[in-house]
Amino acid sequence: MRLLELLASRKSLVRSYFYSVNLMLLFKVGAILAKTNDVCIINEHKIRWNLAPVLEFNPRCVEGAKLLVFEAESELEVPQEFWLATSPKRLKLQADVVEVVKLSDGSFKATLANELFNFRISGGQLLELKMGSDEAEVLRLLEEWGGEAELKDVVAVASKRCGMTRDAVREVVWRLKEKGYLDLIGRLVKKKNMREG
């Protein structure tokens, strides 16, 4: 998953209120880093091991280990040489910041360097939610237009261009909105009720 690869390749702070997300990202990034480095988990005492997914590496807090900080409450809990920190707080650290929010269907979205990642946690796994081809087509149309668009205009043009029914286009736009893609590209489909139009 690209999000995990990015987190493993750079010093990062994950801002998230979600324990399961913080734990899963920490464990998965730790497993990637452990292939070439020793990995140390700071604040390990905050992990509820009876509820945790399987840890795929053996943490070793030795000199030169990559430091992963779990659920930091303040900057004082984060050593300067940390590699990944998770926190529900808005910590001021010298690192790339990943913002995680929950989507309405129980999945999550993370934003890092203007890139959006949708995922779900299920059965101890982190599952990437891919964008469907119909979603990609409608999103490409919105990006071509730039600025704002009325839902009725999007429906009319996308249904002809993509060979979709008007109801199918409305559903695609609704899914894009729920997944956060419309917010990310700064486009606003102007309609109070997205299912109308």
pLDDT digits 0-9 by tens, 105-137: 668 989 998 788 989 888 788 888 887 778 878
Indicate if 86 and 157 belong to the same structural domain: no
Q: Does some domain include residue 161?
A: yes
Is position 49 within any domain? yes
Q: Which domain holds residue 154?
A: 133-190
Please tell me the distance from the alpha carbon of residue 63 to that of residue 111, in angstroms, as a whole number. 32
User: Is 60 exceeded by the pLDDT of residue 188?
Assistant: no
Evaluate whether 109 touches 179 at the Cβ level (below 8 Å). Answer: yes
Do 83 and 174 lie in one domain? The reply is: no
pLDDT of residue 123: 78
* Judgement on whether residues 29 and 96 belong to the same structural domain of the protein: yes
Is residue 11 one of the residues assigned to a domain? yes
119/139 same-domain check = no
Residues 75, 155 within the same domain: no
| Domain final position from 128, 149, 165 | 128
Split into its structural domains, the chain has a count of 2
Residues 9 and 103 in one domain: yes
Which residue type is seen at 22?
N
Per-residue pLDDT for 98 more than 70? yes
Give the span between the Cα atoms of 24 and 51, in whole angstroms. 11
Q: Is pLDDT above 50 for 60?
A: yes
In a domain, 197, yes or no: no
Check: pTM over 0.85? Answer yes or no.
Answer: no
Q: Are residues 137 and 123 in the same domain?
A: no
pLDDT at residue 178, as a whole number: 76
Of 78, 96, 128, which residue is a domain's last?
128
- What confidence score (pLDDT) does residue 63 get? 95
Report whether 74 contacts 93 (CB < 8 A). no
pLDDT at 149: 74
How far, CA to CA in Å, does 3 sit from each of 26, 61, 133, 169? 12, 25, 21, 28
Residues 47 and 108 in one domain: yes
Residue 159 lies in a domain: yes
Say yes or no: 101 and 145 in one domain: no
Question: What is the CB neighbour count within 10 angstroms for residue 94?
Answer: 8
Partnered with residue 97 across adjacent β-strands are: 13
Q: Is the pLDDT of residue 74 over 80?
A: yes
100/182 same-domain check: no
Is 151 found in the same domain as 104? no
If you search the block for the tokens 């659920």, which residue do you land on?
Answer: 71
Same domain, 123 and 183: no
**In the predicted structure, residue 197 carries a pLDDT above the cut 60:** no
Q: Pick from 77, 111, 128: which residue ends a domain?
A: 128
Task: Give me the chain's average pLDDT, please.
Answer: 86
Encode pLDDT of 19-55 as tens digits: 999 999 999 999 999 999 999 999 999 999 988 888 9
Is 169 within the bounds of a domain? yes
Percent of the chain residues topping a pLDDT of 70:
89
